[in-house]
Structure 1
Amino acid sequence: MNQIDAARNHDRSALALLPGRRAVIGALLLAGLCTGTLAHADAATDAWPNKPVRLVVPFPASGATDLISRVIAQRVSQELGQQFVVDNKPGAGGTIGAAEAVKAAPDGYTLLFTTSSTHAISPHLMPRLSYKVDQDFTPIAHMADAASVLLVTPSLPVKNVQELIAYAKANPGRLNYASSGNGTIVHLNALEFAARAGVKLTHVPYKGTAQSITDLAAGQVHLLFDSIPTGMPHVASGRLKALAVTSLQRSALAPDLPTIAESGLPGYSSVTWFGVYGPAGMKPELVAKVNAAFNKAVQNPEVASALAKLGAEPAKAGTPAQFQAMVKADGARWARIIKDNNITLD
């Protein structure tokens, strides 16, 4: 083989290796890009929050959810040194604001502060919602619970839950209860109570529980499941009687009242829960960081004291998975009550 032929063979060998070399170089470049992307994502998580965070509240300003969210958001802001801005987007039982939060980027800078209404009740009352609670959100943290109190008119000759049940059974169809409207937690609480107790009660819906207090005091309606802060002052004044609270454990806000569960209906438990969600697709590391920040804030004694004035108690610090499981169980329970009673919205 002469020198010219040898040179040609060398060139052919080099050309044959080019695709392999290109593949190796391409793989190295891709690995570099992936490493850079992961590093950027980690940096973004580590830096969160480095700008104001929008906290969507799907209920009106000055309402219970709004006030509770502001107490917690203020503490998170103090802890992290970054502003958390409450953005009220009310309407349709909270579903309008919830649907808006779904559209945000999953970067931790738009979060949703919401309640049982949007994620455990409305999905079973509004089957055509634009969002799916198990697909379109990232559960982050369970923040607080608000129990209700079972109130009765003073003229009703009962002193406790067992006597109320006995009276209702002895007088079938004669007792009625007020609510703040079809499908509300007030309505559902009474339905579950009646189902567990095996009694028949007549529903009298109002536009709000405040409007029913006068009729309850006058004996025109007999029962009402109201919030502790709004109901208990009427008990203190003697206008109404309180029989029990709806939480599974006694409430620190009314420690002398027994629970319905311990008063003859084992297992009865109902609270309005409050929690934080993000849009679907948030990275686990970011979720863990947001979860830790909100858990720390709500365990602060000053926050707990402020929440108590609003009728809520801090939830125990938990993981996103625990929060998701709680919401799923709560939704299944209300789905059953709604289906069994053929509840529809007005």
Structure 2
Amino acid sequence: MTQDYRAAGFTRRATLGLGLAALAAPSIGTAQAQWPTGPVRFIGIFPPGGGTDILSRLWCMKMSEITGQQFVVENRSGSGGNIGTEVIANAPADGTAIGLASVAPLAISPTLYGRLPFNAARDFSFISGLWQLPNLLVINNDVPARSVPELIALLRANPGRYAFASSGSGTTVHLSGEMFRSMAGLDILHVPYRGGAPAHVDLQGGRVHMIFDNIPQGLALAREGKVRALAVTGRERSAQAPDVPAMAEFLPDFEITSWGGVMGPAGMAPVLVERINILTKQSLESPDLKRRFEENGASTWYTTPEEFARFRAANEASFAPLIRASGARVE
């Protein structure tokens, strides 16, 4: 998609041509000064060591390389990402603190939670998407199905006898299962766990039968022969598992992806948002960052600020009926 930048007083091509040195035009030079030259705090909203934390750190390393500034990841986890998201909402709007925009607090929590300490639509300056990450349907090896059509036929013939696990109610792992149940017309039980590790223990032990897990963990276990991979939840097949079909090949329009982006608090100067966006675009076009993202199951995902805000709102709207139908609710 294209975007008209004349309202901001400059064009994307002209801005890119100016590089990272001091900018000549007075309005742009002032905007450059608005972003401090010292370290930038990047608020990570999930615990260290997880998939999103690894991807966040890879992006911050690339941004440090491009800008010459230090990007420091500060993990503020808890409540499904809501705690760190609140920290971002309350940060100064001068660019000294930005953070991870994630599907969980921004597209799922507004429906899942009765009360939130932030408003997903109003309390943030959306800057750009960073990555998209599909889930992977894996099943216990003893389940007598070798494909999605065979699995659907099995589940329809045995209503209420099979269960799918998730890493917690309201996650994309859970909602992928809800979408599968709804679109295929199935009677299957949802069993939520406190994280993916215990869910996989019970999956491999046969106490539950399937899970729509984040692709890195599920794919690794499938390659070890511990589970069987049947489909990815993205619109198309994943470059990490090209032999595994997309669920949409069997259930048209089936698509759920986990995603991450970068955002700041509401009130950031538009020209500052645009500057970070342009640098983000440069980082995501880097071949080595693309490769590192792919190694972790993700694909780079650049958007304009406007596209990102629209995407978030549409994603919330698409998840809302699934969450309500599942009965998941946190007061």
Using the size of structure 1 for normalisation, the TM-score is 0.85
The residue that corresponds to 2:193 in the other structure is 206
Amino acid at match of 1:153: N
Asked if structure 1 preserves the Cα contact closer than 8 Å seen for 2:173 and 2:214, the reply is no
Match of 2:285 in 1: 299
Matched, 1:235 2:225: no
Q: What residue in structure 2 maps to residue 274 of structure 1?
A: 260
Residue 3 (structure 2) aligns with = none
2:294 aligned residue (288, 308, 313): 308
In the TM superposition, what whole-angstrom CA distance separates every residue of 1:242-278 from its partner, at most 9, and x where no partner exists?
A: 100000011111111110001x100000111000111
Distance 1:123 1:41 in 2: 37
Worse-superposed segment, 46-55 or 198-207: 46-55
Shift of 1:138: 0.8
1:325 is aligned to 310
Shift of 1:218: 3.0
**2:22 corresponding residue in structure 1:** none
Q: Which amino acid aligns with 2:169?
A: N
How far did 1:318 drift?
2.1
1:323 deviates by 1.0
Once residues 92 and 41 of structure 1 are traced to their aligned partners in structure 2, the CA distance between those partners, rounded to angstroms, is 41
Partner of 1:77: 64
Distance 1:60 1:209 in 2: 14
Of 244, 247, 250, which aligns to 1:260? 247
- The structure 1 residue matched to 2:168, chosen from 153, 161, 181, is 181
Deviation at 1:215, TM superposition (A): 2.4
| Paired residues of 1:246 and 1:271 also in contact (CA < 8 A) | yes
Aligned alpha-carbon RMSD (Å):
1.7
Do residues 339 (structure 1) and 324 (structure 2) align? yes
The amino acid of 1:279's aligned partner reads P
Structure 1 segment 49-198 matched on structure 2, within 5 A: 49-198=36-185
Structure-to-structure mapping, 1:11-26, within 5 angstroms: none
**Does the Cα contact within 8 Å between 2:222 and 2:228 map onto a contact in 1?**
yes
Judging by fraction of residues, say which structure has more helix: 1
Unpaired segments ≥5 residues, structure 2: 1-24
| Letter paired with 1:226 | D
- Listed as ranges, the gaps of 5+ residues in structure 1 are 1-38
Equivalent residue for 1:16? Answer: none
Corresponding letter in the other structure for 2:265: P
- Matched-pair contact (CA < 8 Å) for 1:152–1:224: yes
Match for 1:331: what amino acid? E
Q: Distance in 1 between matches of 2:155 and 2:79?
A: 35
- Letter of the 2:260 partner, please give it: F
Taking the aligned partners of 2:37 and 2:172, their CA distance within structure 1 comes to: 38
Q: Does 1:247 align with 2:226?
A: no
Tell me the amino acid that sits aligned with residue 283 of structure 2. A
What is the alpha-carbon distance in structure 1 between the residues aligned to residue 74 and residue 163 of structure 2? 38
Which stretch of the first structure deviates more once superposed, 158-167 or 203-212?
203-212
Secondary structure of residue in 1 paired with 2:130: strand
Structure 1 runs (4+) greater than 6 angstroms displaced: none
Q: In 2, distance between residues paired with 1:242 and 1:56?
A: 34
Task: Tell me, yes or no, if the aligned pair for 2:114 and 2:330 is still in contact at 8 Å.
Answer: no
Tell me how far apart the structure 2 counterparts of residues 91 and 299 of structure 1 sit (CA, whole Å): 32
Structure with max Cα Rg: 1
Letter in 1 for 2:151: L
Measured after TM superposition, the shift of residue 169 of structure 1 is: 0.8
Q: 1:105 to 1:41 in 2, by over 3 A?
A: farther
Tell me how far 1:238 sits from its aligned partner: 1.9
Name the aligned partner's letter for residue 271 of structure 1.
T
* Alpha-carbon contact 1:298-1:314 (below 8 Å) kept: yes
After TM superposition, the score normalised by the length of structure 2 is 0.88
Q: Which secondary structure does the structure 1 equivalent of 2:59 belong to?
A: helix
Q: Deviations over 1:225-252 (max 9, x none)?
A: 1122211222122221110000001111
Q: Post-superposition shift, 1:40?
A: 8.1
**C-alpha displacement at 1:309, in angstroms?**
2.6
Tell whether the 8 Å contact from 1:182 to 1:345 is kept in structure 2 after alignment.
no
Larger mean CA deviation between 85-94 and 41-50 belongs to 41-50
% of aligned pairs identical? 39
